[in-house]
Amino acid sequence: MAIKITGKYTEPCRISVLCDNESQRTDLGKEWGLSMALELPGDNLWLWDCSASELFLKNASAMNIEVSKAKGLAISHGHWDHTGGMDALMDADFIGPVYAHPDFANKRYTKEDNGSAKEASFNCEYPGTIIVRDNVELDDGLFMITEIPRRDGLFEATKDLFLDQEMTQVDHVHDDAFMLLMTNSGPVVILGCCHSGLANSLYHMRDITGIDSVHAILGGLHLYVADHAEYEETAKVIEEFNPKIVSPGHCTGKDGYKFLKQRLSCTVLPMGSGSVYEF
């Protein structure tokens, strides 16, 4: 379904990283997971994922962000490192809706280094879930986009991901989603893990919105188990969409970050708990 972009925010939007694999502040914790807070004009707060535990709530408190007042939570996909803190969020008096693709609650597994299967599923029951089958405008100028087509020959980050404990059915993470925020600086793409691959994600955005240039790309790029060709594909599509700022975090991995930092001519910033971006 096409998205009609009718406007953008003319006042600053702030995006704060509540939790990430790394930390940009000594007083904030880190864990393998991701959570962000989007503070929009008009005192509108949205949450993007809730990391692996209650740690994102502790960090949010230290950053003076009241997550209980959020208008809603959008889930990038159903893996534990993006949903594990939801029980704690409910205990913190959050009562807003949760937006997610219908596959977010699938049973799923990851292959461990020793060859065994580890469950990686979403494990919280929440009555206020709103199913998003393709895209939805969460707030004026804030869109959640999912059901991303996978184009032949383009990278998708599904290595060692399965839908069964016997590890015979590949999990293509069809619930993978990203956010598009129309700021005064230009469009900002906010990623979760980008299991679809960045090229598939950005090409789908272009197909349904007509947007072929963005101001910033933030979040996980899932390059930590990628090879050089997949690094290069990611860099090329970033150049194609000509952002001013790229800030890779979470599952991008240190080697992936270093490659993009050296390879790209735009500003490449590290991401971690406590990172704040204003557009």
Q: What pLDDT, on the 0 to 100 scale, is given for residue 230?
A: 96
Average pLDDT, the chain: 96
Structural domains of the chain ordered from first start: 14-272 (3.60.15.10)
Q: What are phi and psi of 62, to 5 degrees?
A: -65, -25
Joined tokens for residue 222: 């899932």
Q: What pLDDT, on the 0 to 100 scale, is given for residue 126?
A: 73
pTM check: above 0.85: yes
Q: CA nearest 219: which of 275, 142, 158, 271?
A: 271
Q: What pLDDT, on the 0 to 100 scale, is given for residue 8?
A: 83
pLDDT in tens, 82-134: 999 999 999 999 999 999 999 999 999 999 999 999 999 987 777 789 999 99
Query: Positive or negative CA dihedral for 15, 48, 131, 41?
Result: negative
Place of tokens 């890779």: 248
Q: Over 79-91, what HEC string results? A: CHHHHCCHHHHHH
